[in-house]
Amino acid sequence: MSSFILLFLCLAIGVLLRHVRDFPSNTPLVLNQFIIYISLPALALNFIPEIKLDQTLFLPIGVAWICFAGSALIFWSLGKIYSWSRKLTGCLILMAGLGNTSFIGFPVMEALYGNVGLRTSIIIDQPGSFLVLSTLGIAVAASFSRGKASAQAILKKVFTFPPLVAFIVGLAMNIAGLHFSDDLNDVFQRLGTTVTPLALVSVGMQLRIEKRSKHWGFLTLGLAYQLIISPAIIYGLYVWVFKARGEVVQVCVLEAAMAPMITPSIVAATYGLKPRLANMMIGFGIPVSFLTLAVWYWLVQGV
């Protein structure tokens, strides 16, 4: 319960701080940069060296990659058909393709499935959502931000993205059997916990509910994919095609049904990909997702 209180409290704080003159207009940008350069790399260095690498990871890891691929295919196609701007298409791919598998996913899955739910969620999030954002997400942001970008420019953006650099370091340590000291892990863990409050405050400071906004239709499309189509894809593949069963599969489906991930909105703002739409997807997606998650939880009980 404390996680949900923190979530809505930080959003509200961000909205209130927007009206405090002591906070400059570029405060969200500063918060975003701290998250990208400090908080996310710390999170990767805390988790990745400790993950056990084996074949049981395939289904959980696949969730984020499959959902993002579906988002890219659907919204790229719609963008071509309806002649959307590249920034709009990039925003929808980024925001609809990645779910909030950590901050919302961790406490919800732990509450529903105990340690199995939490362990599975960490695998879905770190080598899944986190790595997708750090690679494909940055590639999409770079290529859709200012027209067509060269492959060299996109690769440079991807491999200089601080969280990915930290992920590679953590993975190399994992493979080599190396570990950070308990003190360093504690430092990384504390820095990593700043992701959610800072990101939510940043989103709140940029969130504006405009009744006449041209984004409402696109908001509906993005949330429909994230909350309904995305988990339906995972359910169909894992249950009907792969014939998988059990709590791990249930957690995979529910994690695919989470509200949009907060960090892509930071990336969208950094690259100028319709940041207002991105923040609307966070602000509206989180409360709506609690209703759709209840439906999906009921549907997966027989799996």
pLDDT at residue number 180: 94
pLDDT band at residue 115 using 50, 70 and 90 as cut-offs: confident
Q: Residue 110 maps to which CATH number?
A: 1.20.1530.20
pLDDT at residue number 270: 86
Give the count of domains, the chain. Answer: 1
Query: Residue 273's domain spans which residues?
Result: 2-300
pLDDT at residue number 210: 65
pLDDT at residue number 106: 78
3-state helix, strand and coil shares in percent for the chain, rounded to the nearest 5 = 80, 0, 20
User: What CA dihedral angle connects 210, 29, 95 and 7, to 10 degrees?
Assistant: -80
Instruction: Say whether pLDDT at 3 is over 70.
Output: no
User: What CA dihedral angle connects 268, 274, 275 and 277, to 10 degrees?
Assistant: -120
Query: Do 250 and 303 meet the contact criterion of CB atoms below 8 Å apart?
Result: yes
Global pTM reads 0.83
- With tokens 């196609």, the residue in question is 77
Burial label, 213 (beta-carbon count in 10 A; 0-12, 13-18, 19+): middle
Instruction: Say whether pLDDT at 275 is over 80.
Output: yes
